[in-house]
Structure 1
Amino acid sequence: MNLNNIYKKNGLIALVIILLTVSGCTKFVDVPSPIDQIPSDLAFGSDTKAASAVRALYGIMVGSTGVFTTTLAYSGAVQISMGLSADEIMNTSVTNVFNEFYTNSISAANGKSSGDIWGSIYNLIFNANSIIENVEKSTGITAAGKKQFLAEAKFIRAANYFYLINIYGDVPMPLTSDYRTNANLPKVGKEVIYNLILDDLKYAVANLGPAYLGTQRLRANKYAANALLARVYLYKEDWVNAEIQASEVIDVAGKTVYDMETDLKKTFLTSSKEVILQLQQPGSNLYTYDGFNFVPSIATNAPQYQITDKLFQSFETGDLRKTEWIKTVTLTIGGVTKNYSYPYKYKLNGGTGTTRTESNVFLRLSEVYLIRAEARAHQNKLSDAISDLDVIRKRSGISLISVTKPNATQSELLDLTAHERFVELFIEYGHRWMDLKRTGTADEVLKDKPNWRPEAKLYPIPLDDINKNPFLKQSPGYN
C-alpha cells in the first residue's frame, strides 16, 4: 500500500467520523463536502469534537472502522504474521494467505505486509499527526482538553512507530499530515525514531491522568504510557529507566488500580484487573479478531493456526496457562486422526450484540512485571527479579524460583525471564518475534525454520512504495 495513497485517501478518517456524527448522516455519500475540504475548525472546534477524533484512533487500531479500511491491523495481522515468523504458531494449510511469514520468504509485494501492517500503521501515524496539528492550532479546545488529546495522539503515534521499526527497521518518519511532503521521505535510522517515541511517551506520562476516561480501559491513561515507556526502555537496554517506569505501574498504581487475575479465564475479559489498555472493535461484533482467527467456527474443522510443538512443550508440568490459554482437540480429517492445539486466550469467535465480554488486550500487568524482572536482573538485583518472576509463576500454578532456585545467577534469571515471556505472552502483539531479535537469539532459535536467513529478521519494504519513492531503499536481502 503506497504511502502517497495512504495520505491522500485514508488521511482524514477521524475527521469523516466526526462529520458523520455531527451531521447525523448515516451514509458516506451524505457528507456535503469532500473530506479534503473539511475545515479544521469544524472537526476540532470543541473538546467534544476533538475527543471524537481521538476515540477514532483507537478504533482504527482495531482495523475495522467501516469507513475506509477492513484490514486486520493490530486485530490479527500483527499477531498472526509475527507469530508465524517466530516459533509460536504454524499454519495448517500452505494456501493460507500468511504462509510466506511462516516460511520466512515474504515477498515485497505481499499484501498482508504492505496493507494490513505497513499501510495500517502509517495510516494511524498520519491520523495521529493530523490530530496533533489541528489540536495545537485550535482556538475552540480548552487548555485541559489540548493536553489530554495531544497526549493520547502522541501515545498512539509512539505505539505505531514502535511496531513499525521493530518490524521493518529503518523507515520514513512523517511528522506532518502533508502528503506531498511525506510521499518522498527517505528512511530514518531507528535511533532517531526511538527518540521521537521517547519524547511522545514522556509527554503522555506527564499529561495523562491516572484515571480512565469512561467505564472501561479503552483509552490510554498515565499508567498505559508508563507501561509502554517501560517496554521501550527495555528494548533500548536502558535497564534503570525500564525499572523506574515499570515500578510506576506496579508500585504506584498498586492493587488499587491493577492486580494479577488468579483465575486465568478472566485475564482477557473486559472486566480483567490485569488489563492496562484494551482495544475494542467498533460496531456490534462481540468477538475479537484473535478469537475469530484462532478459534475454529465449526468444532470439527481444523484450526487455521496451531501452537508449535516447541511452545507446547515449553510449559512446565501443572502450568495453568497451558490448560486455560491453549485448547487441544482430537479430529479425524481425511481419515487421519490427530491432535490440534491452538491459541485460546480469547474464547469468542462470533456473535453480535451490545455487551462485550472480550476486547483485545494491548497492555497488561504481567508484561510489566516481566519487564521489571529483566531490567532488575541486568542490574544484578537478583532477589528482586526473582520476586517479580514469582508473581507470574504463582498465579500460573507452578513452583516458585525463590523456593527451587533462590541463588539463581544473573544468566540463569535472564534465561528464566525469556522462558516466562515465551509462555506468558505467546501470540500477543509479536512479543516473541521481537524478543528473539532484540536479544540476538533469533538466528540460533529459528535456524531450522524453512528458508531462514539473517535478513529475514526484517520484513521487506512494500514494493509499491519502493517503486513510487525514489528516496526509499529496500531492506537488505530483498533486492
Structure 2
Amino acid sequence: MKTTTIKQIIYAVSVGLLLTAVSCEKWIETDFPNNQLPTELVFEDEQTAEAALAGLYSSLWSNSLLSGGVEGFGLLGGLYTDDISTVYTPGINGVSDIYYNAQIPNNSVVTNVWTNAYQQIYACNSIIEGVRNSTSLSQKVRDRITGEALFVRSMLYFYLQQIYGEIPYTDTTDYTINSQLARMPENEFMTRIETDMSEGANLLQESYRNAERIYPNRYAAILILAKIKMLLNKNTEAEVLLQSVIQSPLYSFQNDLAKVFQKGGGHILWQLKPGNANEATKEAVLYNFTAAPLSFMVNTDLVGQYSAADLRKQQYITAVTFQSQTHYKVSKYRNLAGNNPNEYSVIMRLEEVQLLLAEVLIQQGKVAEAVNLINKTRLRAGLAALSTGLSAPAAMNELRIEKRKELFAEQGIRFFDLKRWGMLDQLTGVKPNWKPFHARWPIPNKELLINPKLNPQNEGY
C-alpha cells in the first residue's frame, strides 16, 4: 500500500510549526509510573524500549481516561452527562459526586483523573526523550515508538483540556522546566497538540504492527487530529482527514450488530487488550448485574430514546427485572472472566468516524452526503433510512440522536459532543444539579496547594 503523509492527505493545508517553548510558572507533580522503567535504563536496545512502551499501554488499560473501568471517561463522562446512572447516594464517594454534579476540588475522582493522566504524559515524554537520545535504535523503530508516544500524549492532553479547560502543557521530563509550568491558554494549547498529533501521525505507519489492532496506527492518530481540528473550526481539513480513514481499504463497516464489540472486526481502528487470556473487559465487569444493579446502569432518559424497532435496544442494552423493578444494564460487552475469547475494549471504531464526517459535512452544507452516513448505523439497527432531502438543522438533530444511541458509554463521546455543540446546558432537564460552570471540572485542590500559579480556580468552584 502506498504510504500517505498528513501533508498529502490535507493537500496544501499546513499544520504549522511547533510553538515556542512553554513560558510557565511552577510545578506539576508527575511521579514516574510504577510500571515504567527509568529513562537511562530503557533505550539501550529495542527490547527494553518496547518494554517501556508496553508499560504505558498497560497503564492505559488499568487506570487511565481510556480504561473501560471506573477510572475511565467512558463511565465518568456517561455519569456526568445523561447516559449512565448510579445506585450510589449523594456524597457516598467521589464517583457519586460526579453523577450528581457535586464535585469539588478535593473530589477523589477529580484528583485521580488529573494525576494519572499527567503521570502517563510524563511517561510519554520519557519515552520520546529516550528514543531521541538513543544511538542504538534503528530509524524505523525510533519513528514508530516516538509516533506512538506522541499519539498517546496528545490524546490524553485532548481529554484533559476538554475536562478541565486551560491546563499546563509539557513535553519534557526536565524538572527546571516542569517546575515553572502554568496553565496554557486554550487556543495555544489546542494548536500545540494539533502539531504534536500531526507529527505523530506522520511517524506512524498505515499498517498495524499487530493484526489485533491493539497498537495505534496512522489512522487512529488522524481520527484524533480531526477532532482537534473540529474544535478549532477547521471543518474542511477535518473532512479530508476523516474521508481518508473511511476510504482506506483497512476498514470496512460491520453489518452484524451482534459483532460490533468483537475484536476481529474490520471496523475497529484501535482497541486495548485485557492483561490475561480470557480476562473480561473492564466494561463487561463494570456494568454487569443479574438482579438489583450493583453500581451503574443505563440512564432511563437514554433508554427512552430508542424506539421498539431499534435493534440496539436489545443488543446494546439489557433489561433486568428484580422485585417488580426493571433496570437496564450496558451490554455492549457480554463476556465475563474465564469466558472471553473474542472481546477487547474498543477505543475507536469506524462508526464514530462516519458520524463525525457527517457532522462536518452538514456544517458545510453537504446534507445529502451526511445523511447517507447517518443511515448506515440506522439501517443496521433495523430503522428506516432518513430522507436525503432533510434540511441542515433537521439532519443535525438526527445526527445528535444517532450518535447518542450508537456511541453511549464509549470514551466520554457524549460529553465531548455536547460541549463541542454548546449544548451541555440541556442537561438541566435531566440533571437538576447541572449548572453552566459544570462545563469544566475544578482543578484539583492538591495541585493548587503544590503550585499556586495554577490559580485562579475554575469558575464556580
Regarding TM over 0.5, the answer is yes
The one-letter amino acid of 1:218's match is I
Cα distance, 1:272 vs structure 2: 2.0
2:36 corresponds to 1:7: no
- Can you list the C-alpha shifts for 1:320-362, whole angstroms capped at 9, x where unaligned? 1111000101101xxxx2101121111134338xx74221111
Give identity over the alignment, percent.
Answer: 28
Following the alignment from structure 2 to structure 1, what is the Cα–Cα distance between the partners of residues 68 and 320?
25
The one-letter amino acid of 2:111's match is S
Following the alignment from structure 1 to structure 2, what is the Cα–Cα distance between the partners of residues 473 and 96?
26
Counterparts in 2 of 1:293-372, with a 5 A limit?
A: 293-296=286-289, 299-332=290-323, 337-351=324-338, 356-372=341-357
Following the alignment from structure 1 to structure 2, what is the Cα–Cα distance between the partners of residues 58 and 348?
22
Give structure 1 stretches of 5+ with no counterpart: 16-37, 65-70
2:425 corresponds to 1:426: no
For the residue of structure 2 that corresponds to 1:358, the secondary structure is: coil
Following the alignment from structure 2 to structure 1, what is the Cα–Cα distance between the partners of residues 416 and 284?
22
Q: Are the equivalent residues in 2 in contact too, given 1:87–1:446 (CA < 8 A)?
A: no
The one-letter amino acid of 1:344's match is S
Q: 1:120 to 1:349 in 2, by over 3 A?
A: farther
Following the alignment from structure 1 to structure 2, what is the Cα–Cα distance between the partners of residues 39 and 114?
26
Name the count of aligned residue pairs: 432
2:286 corresponds to 1:263: no
Cα distance, 1:75 vs structure 2: 2.7
Counterparts in 2 of 1:35-434, with a 5 A limit?
A: 38=38, 40=40, 42-63=41-62, 74-76=67-69, 77=71, 78-94=73-89, 95=92, 97-115=94-112, 117-251=113-247, 253=248, 256-284=249-277, 286-296=279-289, 299-332=290-323, 337-351=324-338, 356-401=341-386, 405-434=387-416
Q: 1:245 to 1:73 in 2, by over 3 A?
A: closer
- Matching residue of 1:438: 420
- Can you list the C-alpha shifts for 1:264-290, whole angstroms capped at 9, x where unaligned? 221111112211000123245611111
The one-letter amino acid of 2:229's match is Y
2:458 corresponds to 1:476: yes
Following the alignment from structure 1 to structure 2, what is the Cα–Cα distance between the partners of residues 184 and 281?
38
Cα distance, 1:476 vs structure 2: 2.9
Q: Are the equivalent residues in 2 in contact too, given 1:286–1:350 (CA < 8 A)?
A: yes
Q: Are the equivalent residues in 2 in contact too, given 1:291–1:346 (CA < 8 A)?
A: yes
For the residue of structure 2 that corresponds to 1:348, the secondary structure is: coil
The one-letter amino acid of 1:372's match is L
The one-letter amino acid of 2:218's match is K
Q: Are the equivalent residues in 1 in contact too, given 2:94–2:107 (CA < 8 A)?
A: no
Q: Are the equivalent residues in 1 in contact too, given 2:166–2:183 (CA < 8 A)?
A: yes
The one-letter amino acid of 2:316's match is W
Q: 1:367 to 1:113 in 2, by over 3 A?
A: same
For the residue of structure 2 that corresponds to 1:237, the secondary structure is: coil
Following the alignment from structure 1 to structure 2, what is the Cα–Cα distance between the partners of residues 409 and 163?
32
For the residue of structure 2 that corresponds to 1:316, the secondary structure is: coil
Q: Are the equivalent residues in 1 in contact too, given 2:301–2:430 (CA < 8 A)?
A: no
For the residue of structure 1 that corresponds to 2:329, the secondary structure is: strand
Q: TM-score, normalised by structure 2?
A: 0.89
Q: 1:210 to 1:100 in 2, by over 3 A?
A: same
Q: 1:390 to 1:448 in 2, by over 3 A?
A: closer
Cα distance, 1:84 vs structure 2: 1.1
For the residue of structure 2 that corresponds to 1:460, the secondary structure is: coil
Q: 1:261 to 1:282 in 2, by over 3 A?
A: same
Give structure 2 stretches of 5+ with no counterpart: 1-25
For the residue of structure 2 that corresponds to 1:7, the secondary structure is: coil
Following the alignment from structure 2 to structure 1, what is the Cα–Cα distance between the partners of residues 335 and 136?
42
Q: Are the equivalent residues in 2 in contact too, given 1:172–1:187 (CA < 8 A)?
A: yes
Q: 1:431 to 1:181 in 2, by over 3 A?
A: same
For the residue of structure 1 that corresponds to 2:422, the secondary structure is: coil
Following the alignment from structure 2 to structure 1, what is the Cα–Cα distance between the partners of residues 199 and 66?
25
Following the alignment from structure 2 to structure 1, what is the Cα–Cα distance between the partners of residues 145 and 437?
39
Following the alignment from structure 1 to structure 2, what is the Cα–Cα distance between the partners of residues 218 and 344?
22
Point out the structure with the larger helix share: 1
Q: Are the equivalent residues in 2 in contact too, given 1:12–1:127 (CA < 8 A)?
A: no
For the residue of structure 1 that corresponds to 2:254, the secondary structure is: coil
- Can you list the C-alpha shifts for 1:433-477, whole angstroms capped at 9, x where unaligned? 111111111113334513211111111111111111021115433
Following the alignment from structure 1 to structure 2, what is the Cα–Cα distance between the partners of residues 322 and 265?
12
Q: Are the equivalent residues in 2 in contact too, given 1:73–1:121 (CA < 8 A)?
A: no
Cα distance, 1:181 vs structure 2: 3.2
Q: 1:356 to 1:460 in 2, by over 3 A?
A: farther
Q: Are the equivalent residues in 2 in contact too, given 1:286–1:357 (CA < 8 A)?
A: no
**Segments of 4+ in structure 1 off by > 6 A?**
none
For the residue of structure 2 that corresponds to 1:14, the secondary structure is: coil
The one-letter amino acid of 1:7's match is T
Cα distance, 1:425 vs structure 2: 0.7
Q: TM-score, normalised by structure 1?
A: 0.85
- Can you list the C-alpha shifts for 1:189-238, whole angstroms capped at 9, x where unaligned? 22222112211221122221121112310111111112222222223322
Q: 1:72 to 1:170 in 2, by over 3 A?
A: closer
Following the alignment from structure 1 to structure 2, what is the Cα–Cα distance between the partners of residues 195 and 434?
18
Following the alignment from structure 1 to structure 2, what is the Cα–Cα distance between the partners of residues 39 and 381?
49
